[in-house]
């Protein structure tokens, strides 16, 4: 691909400077300076039209700050460049809590989504369901378990333990939550900070869910902490038992990591299973 030619065809302006950006696990990510003075971000890879769709969906249906998608194709996504400076400070976490609480207030009649989405480049099925318990068990926990076994990333013995847990999920998970719009891939690398404020959230994996699954993911790799949760609960109090349920929900992103990166994450899955008696 001649990126400069593609950008000129898409946006009608020339590229005058190009630099690599970090964080591109699935695609090549670059910052481009254009002859009209704009800075933009270009992602080069596969399946990027869907990412552009998800960014546009968030922009249209919520107030979550996301980069504007300027051009979408299967192999190229051009986006608005968002400035970054600093880390996830207390003030930045509080700002993130404000944004995510507003996002989670966007609801739908059913769990799932109108189409299949992706997480980390992996297919994420979203057949719409009235029951959150059924949706999480079948389309998140067991779906990713089965594909991890099929790709020989997850031992069959561990998959059997997950299946036994899945048969008893009603001990911990119920259907009391309303379907809420979530970003879906809430870890530090997808949260852009600029001077104690959130400039944007990137790389979405959207669907309508119990928002607890998003909050759980945000704790898995230490993205958000006490400051975030204190502020979030001012808007949307957590239901009793979240501290226990979050480990169950984090089985899903851990299984995603098993699929992407292999056996290094299998022990984390196994530890959670042991914690729940499986």
Q: Which positions are annotated as active-site residues?
A: 185
Asked whether the CA dihedral 163, 164, 167, 172 is positive or negative, the reply is negative
**How close are the terminal C-alpha atoms of the chain, in Å?**
49
> Which residue is it, tokens 């946006």?
11
Cα→Cα distances 148→185, 195, 266, Å: 19, 40, 10
d(CA 190, CA 126): 22
d(CA 142, CA 63): 32
d(CA 272, CA 254): 10
Cβ-in-10-Å burial (0-12, 13-18, 19+) of 183 comes to buried
What DSSP character marks residue 73?
E
Cα→Cα distances 37→21, 95, 227, Å: 19, 29, 38
* Residue 232 CB neighbours (<10 A): 23
d(CA 83, CA 95): 16
d(CA 109, CA 179): 7
- Number of helices and strands (H, E) in the chain? 11, 11
Nearest-CA neighbor of 263 among 158, 109, 163, 114? 158
């Amino acid at each position: 691909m001649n990126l400069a030619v593609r950008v000129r065809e898409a946006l009608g302006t020339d590229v005058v400077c190009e630099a690599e950006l970090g964080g591109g696990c699935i695609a090549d990510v670059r910052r481009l300076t254009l002859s009209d003075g704009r800075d933009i971000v270009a992602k080069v890879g596969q399946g990027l039209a869907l990412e552009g769709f998800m960014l546009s969906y968030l922009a249209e249906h919520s107030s979550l700050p996301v980069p504007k998608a300027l051009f979408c194709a299967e192999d190229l996504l051009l986006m608005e460049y968002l400035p970054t400076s600093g880390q996830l400070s207390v003030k930045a976490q509080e700002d993130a809590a404000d944004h995510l609480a507003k996002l989670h207030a966007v609801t739908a009649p059913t769990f799932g989504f109108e189409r299949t989405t992706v997480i980390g480049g992996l297919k994420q099925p979203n057949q719409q369901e009235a029951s959150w318990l059924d949706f999480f068990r079948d389309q998140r926990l067991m779906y990713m378990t089965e594909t991890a076994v099929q790709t020989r990333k997850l031992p069959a013995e561990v998959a059997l333990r997950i299946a036994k847990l899945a048969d008893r999920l009603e001990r911990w998970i119920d259907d009391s939550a309303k379907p809420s719009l979530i970003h879906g891939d809430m870890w530090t690398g997808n949260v852009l900070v600029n001077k104690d404020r959130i400039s944007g959230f990137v790389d979405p994996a959207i669907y309508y869910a119990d928002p607890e699954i998003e909050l759980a993911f945000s704790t898995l790799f230490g993205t958000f902490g006490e400051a975030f949760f204190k502020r979030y609960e001012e808007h949307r109090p957590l239901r009793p038992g979240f501290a226990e349920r979050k480990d169950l929900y984090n089985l899903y992103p851990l299984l995603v990591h098993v699929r992407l990166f292999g056996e290094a994450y299998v022990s984390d899955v196994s530890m959670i299973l042991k914690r729940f008696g499986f």
